[in-house]
Structure 1
Amino acid sequence: MTLQQPPKRISQQPQARAAAAPVLALRANHSAALPRVLPFATFIVFIIFADVLERFGAHANTMRWLYPAKIALVLAMLLAWRKHYRELRTLPARRDALLAVGVGAGVFALWLALDASWMQIGTPRGFDAAGSDGRIDWPLVAVRAFGAALVVPLMEELFWRSFLLRWLERRDFLSQRPARVGLRAAAISVLLFGIEHNLWLAGIVAGIAYTLLYMRSETLWTPILGHAVTNGLLAAWIMVTGSWTYW
């Protein structure tokens, strides 16, 4: 994140392509949709806002603190609406939880492997971990890791799996059993989840894995756990290797 104008590319943040998903979802005109859609939509708006600021040459320090701001706001929204998330009241069986951990680790390995140029959308902006003195800003890195491993999995699974996957099958999505979601709804939600990420193919693979976890266990905690393991391992790997572009 610098003062220089970014080079031309297909998309600075592929997550912005997913902005159409919450707009479409809000047409459900169902009060149950808002607590699951708005936290995700807020996250996407921040990404678009950061892209606009960068195009107009915003200072790097301003850009660096947008992530803590959006994580704090999204977390506050999730906590404020926690009573609406009745799908979180059912805990997974131990076997399903262990499977989710294994699947999450497998998705992490594939995420690192599926990084060929044709498997990417545009060029990622990358996270600038260095402070004004050139040293790694570890408190900011810790916030980034916390958001990636804990807040994002909860926010995204509430939107992509609990809401959108079931809503595509039935507008009264709360009455839709995950195990009975059809192929069309699963395919659309997985494809949209994939193009939300710069590594679109890895995103599709992850979307398939988390969707199957949800449909198999019929509890949202399994894809949340799998997603958290993936993001947590990726955060650890990024911090150890300094591969900040994955963020």
Structure 2
Amino acid sequence: MAESPYHPPRNLPPGGSVDSWVRAQVTPFAVFIGLTLLLQLFTTYFGWKHPSAPWWRNWPEQWLYPLQTIVGLVLVIRWWKYYEFRWSLKWSLIGAVFGAVGIGFWLLPTIMYERLGLSGEAEGWLKWLGLAEREKGFNPAEAFGAGTPAYWAALVMRFLRAVVVVALVEEIFWRSFLMRFVKDWEGDYWKRPFGEASWKSYAIVTLLFMLAHGKVDYAGAFVYGSLTYLLCIWSRNLSACVVMHAVANLLMGLFAVIHGKYGLW
């Protein structure tokens, strides 16, 4: 009896393997998180908050974030053929609207913090709701001086990281891989179509998305993650989710820089 012709599983490009598909979905995110942990370790053991400290020890994020950006882009480009991007003007515009609404909810607690006349470090339920001033964070002006060439280079790389790399790396992992994996982890999850509705996938992925952020961002991350899930199952379009994330991070970055809320990013 002649053997049946081999048909590659759904979602794999010609000549692609399941192992390569999994690596493409997971590796960029894992490396990105690994570099974030490296920043924490470097800050703990080699960082030096002192006027005499060189900038790379006083503000290690100023060199590690660009490194994350470059490495993330290289990895995504390396496995580009494994990603199911279906760019569409309609879904890109809808994704942009979702991103603006989602980040609006994320920023609302910080705005309310000032409107309510609160001050100081948020504690207890205020922190869980995200009511904090969010002024301490990534600020290249502290390291290089406002308006200098190094300042603008750092700021451009920070926006490239947030708007392009984070949007791609996270949506590929959370929506393209993890939603499928959670829904059918004992089966051929890579064959499942993108954006299948599942309460289990929604609950687990949204919870993990929240836990990937600080407590002060839990409320915003829950609302944002829920809206992204809704867009995902409605559009069945990974590109729409990437656009949503990119627009949200762009607006957050602009808000942080304009209003001095550097702790937001």
TM range (shorter): 0.7 to 0.9
Q: What is the CA–CA distance in structure 2 between the aligned matches of 1:217 and 1:132, rounded to whole Å?
A: 42
**2:230 aligned with 1:212, yes or no?**
yes
Identity of aligned residues (%): 29
Q: What is the CA–CA distance in structure 1 between the aligned matches of 2:139 and 2:163, rounded to whole Å?
A: 18
Q: 1:51 aligns with which of 40, 46, 53?
A: 40
2:257 alignment partner in structure 1: 239
2:4 alignment partner in structure 1: none
2:62 alignment partner in structure 1: 64
**2:77 aligned with 1:79, yes or no?**
yes
State the Cα distance separating 1:185 from its structure 2 match: 1.5
2:104 alignment partner in structure 1: 109
8 Å Cα contact 1:196-1:203 kept in structure 2: no
Q: 1:143 aligns with which of 143, 157, 161?
A: 157
Residue-pair matches, total? 216
2:25 alignment partner in structure 1: 36
Q: 2:88 aligns with which of 87, 92, 96?
A: 92
Q: What is the CA–CA distance in structure 2 between the aligned matches of 1:231 and 1:133, rounded to whole Å?
A: 23
State the Cα distance separating 1:178 from its structure 2 match: 3.7
- 1:84–1:180 Cα change, 3 Å: closer
Q: What is the CA–CA distance in structure 2 between the aligned matches of 1:239 and 1:78, rounded to whole Å?
A: 28
**2:173 aligned with 1:159, yes or no?**
yes
State the Cα distance separating 1:196 from its structure 2 match: 1.0
Q: What is the CA–CA distance in structure 2 between the aligned matches of 1:92 and 1:210, rounded to whole Å?
A: 17
- Structure 1 SS opposite 2:172: helix
Q: What is the CA–CA distance in structure 1 between the aligned matches of 2:249 and 2:240, rounded to whole Å?
A: 14
Q: What is the CA–CA distance in structure 2 between the aligned matches of 1:33 and 1:114, rounded to whole Å?
A: 37
8 Å Cα contact 1:157-1:220 kept in structure 2: yes
Q: Please identify the structure whose Cα radius of gyration is greater.
A: 2
TM-score w.r.t. structure 1 length? 0.80
User: Which amino acid letter does the alignment assign opposite residue 42 of structure 1?
Assistant: V
8 Å Cα contact 2:99-2:247 kept in structure 1: yes
- 1:158–1:134 Cα change, 3 Å: same
User: Which amino acid letter does the alignment assign opposite residue 135 of structure 1?
Assistant: A
TM-score w.r.t. structure 2 length? 0.75
Structure 1, unaligned runs of 5 or more: 1-28
- 1:192–1:114 Cα change, 3 Å: farther
State the Cα distance separating 1:189 from its structure 2 match: 0.4
User: Which amino acid letter does the alignment assign opposite residue 117 of structure 1?
Assistant: K
- 1:239–1:182 Cα change, 3 Å: same
Structure 2, unaligned runs of 5 or more: 1-17, 48-56, 111-125
8 Å Cα contact 1:129-1:244 kept in structure 2: no
8 Å Cα contact 1:165-1:181 kept in structure 2: no
8 Å Cα contact 1:166-1:181 kept in structure 2: no
Q: What is the CA–CA distance in structure 1 between the aligned matches of 2:232 and 2:34, rounded to whole Å?
A: 27
